[in-house]
Structure 1
Amino acid sequence: MPTFHRFDGFRIEVRSRDHNPPHFHMIGPDFHALVDIRTLQVIEGTYTRPALAETLAWAAGRAEALLAEWRRLNERD
């Protein structure tokens, strides 16, 4: 899967052929959560509080880029 960003100990992925709503995956050694790109709310999964805080701070200024990547990878006819 394409890694969109890598933090110390976990990564952000935007996947192709994924389901709505537009979201990204926050993946660490013992957690995996889906985060809605538009609202930055956790849709499902587990996470650590520090990882979520770091991710949300990072994603807040990158929502347009994340959404553009999600759309590029998930174009539907």
Structure 2
Amino acid sequence: MPTLVRLAKSTIVLYAGDHLPPHFHVRMNDGREALIVIDNLTVLSGSIKPYELAEVLTWAQSNRTALRQKWQELNP
């Protein structure tokens, strides 16, 4: 479970051997979690409000290529 980045209120991680579609996990500092699809940055599941994901989605938009590469590395 590589931690990719720690943001002000959340952490972004990827898991090896994870299910499709390619996605990343967001863990808020209070323990809530959401799964975000890498290709279109939509919420796959979770209980985090959209306004709370703003920082995460901004980071992910700028780092989408790196997210895809890391997904492929962990999920060949």
Q: TM-score, normalised by structure 1?
A: 0.89
What is the RMSD of the two structures over their aligned residues, measured on CA atoms?
A: 1.1
2:6 matches 1:44? no
Q: Give the % identical residues.
A: 39
> 1:9 Cα deviation (Å)?
2.7
> 1:41 Cα deviation (Å)?
0.2
Q: d(CA) in 2 for partners of 1:53 and 1:9?
A: 11
2:20 matches 1:27? no
Cα deviation 1:4-48 (Å, max 9, x = unaligned): 010123100011010000000000123100000000000001114
- Partner of residue 62, structure 2: 61
Q: 5+ residue gaps in structure 1?
A: none
- Name the count of aligned residue pairs: 75
- Partner of residue 3, structure 1: 3
Q: Cα–Cα, structure 1 residues 68 and 13, in superposed 2: closer, same or farther, change >3 Å?
A: same
Q: 8 Å contact 1:31–1:48 — kept in the other structure?
A: no
Q: 5+ residue gaps in structure 2?
A: none
